Structure 1
Amino acid sequence: MEEEKLKIPSNEEIIEEITRDLEGTCVKDEKQIIEDQDDKFYDVHDNLNEFDKHDDENLEYFDSVDEQKPELNHDNVDEEALKDRELNLSDDDKEKLRTEAEKLKNEGNNLFKLLNYDKAIETYTQGIQTCPLAFDNDRAILYANRAAAKSKCDKKTSAIDDCSKAIELNPKYLKAMLRRAQLYEQDDKLDEALADYQKVLEIDSSNWDALDATRRLPPKIQERNEKLKVEMMGKLKDLGNMILKPFGLSTNNFQMDQDPATGGYSVKFNQNNS
């Protein structure tokens, strides 16, 4: 018995025992390495997805910012800057600038005749930026001419603004007033157009275009107003029916009668209508 307890293992048994433990350790370590690598892969993958997510969000943000950027107005004239410029100008300097602006106006007119409207707009703008503020009539003509060029490029709103500026500088500027009236009419702003045509007649009662418009526009305005009235009444009726429906009623239960003498209305209730 003692001999069995004190039995010393052979070299082969020792090597086998060591090898078995080593093999188990290696297999375990290899599995752990693979698991660790997998974990790292998924961590990187998740991070990349998160990065892509934020990247997409950033791109959406910058796209939204770009959409919100106002369109640059290259026709804009900073009159405050012109005032500051002219503080130190002598009368001779202002006359020289006026002459230069006159040349730009003529150049713009030639471009207009050549149907180069975009370039004409640029040239008129240079003229407006060049002409001193003291010369209202010269600036009014430049604005009116630029409006004409803009109208050819279908920039009605901007052209109307230029006409308004020209009229502000010269309240009796018939050409600018007539052009604005025509632009208003093209833009279906009939009331504004009629008002301008009437102003033209106050200055020139023989103006054919204005005379024709003051006969032609009132029926159109009345027809448009009647259509709007019908549409409005239809919407009010729909709203009334929606409110009355829970009570088992409709607008058909109510009848409106107009008093010929006063023009006022009285409302009658009829239970039988549905």
Structure 2
Amino acid sequence: MTEEVNEQIPTNEEVINDITKNLESEFVINTENEDNEDNEDKSKIIQGNSAVKIGERERNSGVPEGFDTDTKPLKPDLLDDYIDEEKLKDLEVTLSEEEKETRLKEALELKKRGNDEFKNEKYLESVITYTEALKLCPLKYDNDRSIFYANRAASKTKLERKQSAIEDCSKALELNDTYVKVYLRRAKLYEETEKLDESLEDYKKILSFDPGNRDALQAQYRLPPLIAERNEKLKTEMLGKLKDLGNMILKPFGLSTDNFQLQQDPNSGGYSVNFAQNSKR
């Protein structure tokens, strides 16, 4: 499914961050460049050595990448869990209906194996197994593929790969938009990654399917105050950056932001700016 990318107008906070970042960077850019070059060189050496060791281990011992000798994960992000759906689509054109059904049966067997691995807390192995199922299962079986993605998301959550788990939940919901269990999983992941607005939207979606869902009902009361608190904090930070920037601009004229008073209109919520000349004594 192709995602449409829309041009977005930057928020006030993004504009301010960009301006202040550019101003501050003039004073530190030289030292940062030197540090980055050193770190980049070290990173290349470390990554190079790591790649050789992992590759040698796989060739010499038969242990797949991402595992050590007692099957614990080295680094979950090394997993190749990308699903090339265009390749699958091209392949399916050449398959008969009987062949597609055979591939589905094999994928379902892989799902059973993945479920057993998950129950036995072999989460990394289960991610690999669910990935194999997704690469094998024909695209026409939306519901089964949705379950594979949902199960893989559960395994990734156990591995603390939260962003990747969110992406798998989203794929599962693209294939089955009434999958309440996955909305709940994604809502919790969104909250854990401080995406509170997205989390609340998922909980609202859950209530549209299951009005009595306890987790979603509790979230309706818990999240709005947290969102308001976060927004107030962001507003305070933004006004602080605006004040710093304003003082920098006004200093050559012998003025500061203290010469200007913000007054909020109680009806519209908008602000007006009044100039107040400091009296000399």
Q: Same fold (TM over 0.5)?
A: yes
Q: Aligned-pair distance for 1:160?
A: 0.6
The residue type equivalent to 2:187 in the other structure is A
Equivalent in 115, 129, 137 of residue 109 of structure 1: 115
The residue type equivalent to 1:191 in the other structure is D
1:152 and 2:148 aligned:
no
- Is the Cα contact below 8 Å between 2:260 and 2:276 reproduced in 1? yes
Tell me what 2:268 maps to: 262
Equivalent in 141, 145, 167 of residue 147 of structure 2: 141
- Is the Cα contact below 8 Å between 1:256 and 1:268 reproduced in 2? yes
Equivalent in 164, 167, 170 of residue 161 of structure 1: 167
Alignment of 1:111-260 (within 5 A): 111-260=117-266
Specify whether residues 273 and 169 from structure 1 end up closer, same or farther in structure 2 by C-alpha distance, changes over 3 A only.
Answer: farther
The residue type equivalent to 2:156 in the other structure is K
Q: Aligned-pair distance for 1:273?
A: 6.0
More helix by share: 1
SS in 1 for 2:261: strand
Percent identical pairs in the alignment equals: 58
- Is the Cα contact below 8 Å between 2:79 and 2:128 reproduced in 1? no
Alignment of 1:60-139 (within 5 A): 63=44, 73-139=79-145
Specify whether residues 273 and 232 from structure 1 end up closer, same or farther in structure 2 by C-alpha distance, changes over 3 A only.
Answer: farther
Deviations 1:100-134 (A, max 9, x none): 11111111001000000000111111111111110
Tell me what 1:21 maps to: none
- Is the Cα contact below 8 Å between 1:257 and 1:265 reproduced in 2? yes
Alignment partners' CA distance in 2, 1:136 and 1:127: 13
Alignment partners' CA distance in 1, 2:133 and 2:144: 9
- Is the Cα contact below 8 Å between 2:263 and 2:272 reproduced in 1? yes
Alignment of 1:46-57 (within 5 A): none
Specify whether residues 203 and 236 from structure 1 end up closer, same or farther in structure 2 by C-alpha distance, changes over 3 A only.
Answer: same
Structure number with greater CO (CA < 8 Å, separation at least 6) is: 2
Alignment partners' CA distance in 2, 1:273 and 1:136: 73
Specify whether residues 72 and 113 from structure 1 end up closer, same or farther in structure 2 by C-alpha distance, changes over 3 A only.
Answer: closer
- Is the Cα contact below 8 Å between 1:163 and 1:176 reproduced in 2? yes
- Is the Cα contact below 8 Å between 1:75 and 1:125 reproduced in 2? yes
- Is the Cα contact below 8 Å between 1:252 and 1:273 reproduced in 2? no
Q: Aligned-pair distance for 1:62?
A: 11
Alignment partners' CA distance in 2, 1:153 and 1:261: 50
Give the greater-gyration-radius structure (CA). 1
TM-score after normalising by structure 2: 0.71
- Is the Cα contact below 8 Å between 2:152 and 2:165 reproduced in 1? yes
The residue type equivalent to 2:226 in the other structure is K
How many corresponding residue pairs? 214
CA-atom RMSD, angstroms? Answer: 2.4
Specify whether residues 75 and 262 from structure 1 end up closer, same or farther in structure 2 by C-alpha distance, changes over 3 A only.
Answer: closer
Q: Aligned-pair distance for 1:265?
A: 2.5
Alignment partners' CA distance in 1, 2:236 and 2:91: 56
Specify whether residues 187 and 263 from structure 1 end up closer, same or farther in structure 2 by C-alpha distance, changes over 3 A only.
Answer: closer
Contiguous gaps of at least 5 residues in structure 2: 1-40, 52-76
- Is the Cα contact below 8 Å between 2:150 and 2:169 reproduced in 1? yes
Alignment partners' CA distance in 1, 2:43 and 2:190: 37
TM-score after normalising by structure 1: 0.73
